[in-house]
Amino acid sequence: MGRYFPDPGKLLMNLSGIWASVFVIAVLAMTLVGKIKSLRLINRYRRFIGLSAFFYALLHFVIYLVLFAGLSWRWISSDLIEKPYIYVGVIALLTMSILAITSTKGTVRRLGKKWKPLHRLMYLAALCVIIHLWWQVKSDITIAAWFTLFLAPLLIVKIPTLPLYKKFFKKN
Ligand code: HEM
């Protein structure tokens, strides 16, 4: 594109992370919108959007391993001490991996009623993304703030459906 960057790895790392986060927002928003009767058609694309979030997160991880760490375990272990926010990123990626693996038609059928509670783990992944973003903020909060603005309401509306919330507030 005729543009030069001091560190293309950094740019690719940021772009892949941003796209992964955008797809996380999209899939959670679709879950909500898909409940509206006239918009149910949208549910067909949920798997595709969820898998896109996973693949961008995986790409983000591969870029970290190859372009940042140069596949050096020694480098990674010292980086992990300096950047603990990486751990929460890994939790988000691992969670999304489980959801990607169990998203096939066969697994949905085999898991039956257990599939839905398992796939609510996407909210845990989203929470980890918010923590991952705020934990790495140095001075510029723009990215963390924008993603929180979209993700927080999607998480908050789910609180009343949590088993713990129901146990304490919906005794009748
Ligand atoms: C194995 C998992 C992960 C690792 C090792 C990891 C590592 C990192 C690192 C080292 C950075 C800082 C890059 C820099 O110095 O510019 C970063 C930034 C970022 N990560 Fe991750 N991450 C992981 C998972 C995720 C996931 C799952 C998401 C979102 C779905 C995500 C979203 C982002 C975003 C948006 C940024 C840019 C933040 C900013 O520029 O303010 N990361 N990640």
Number of independent structural domains in the chain:
1
Percent of the chain's residues with pLDDT above 90: 86
**Alpha carbon of 129 to ligand 1 centroid (Å):** 8
Averages of pLDDT over each 10 residues, the chain, 172 residues: 75 97 98 95 96 98 96 96 98 98 97 96 98 96 98 94 77 54
Expressed as residue numbers, the domain containing 101 is: 8-169
Does residue 52 sit within a domain? yes
CA–centroid distance, 13 to ligand 1, in Å, is 7
**d(CA 41, ligand 1 centre) in Å:** 32
Please indicate, yes or no, if residue 3 is contained in any of the structural domains.
no
CA-14 nearest atom, ligand 1: 37
pTM of the model: 0.93
Angle, alpha carbons 28-88-144 (nearest 5°): 60
Say if CB 34 and CB 46 are below 8 A apart: yes
pLDDT for the residue 1: 63
User: What residue's CA is closest to ligand 1, atom 31?
Assistant: 17
Q: Is residue 94 part of a domain?
A: yes
The answer to the question of residue 2 being in a domain is no
Q: Is residue 1 part of a domain?
A: no
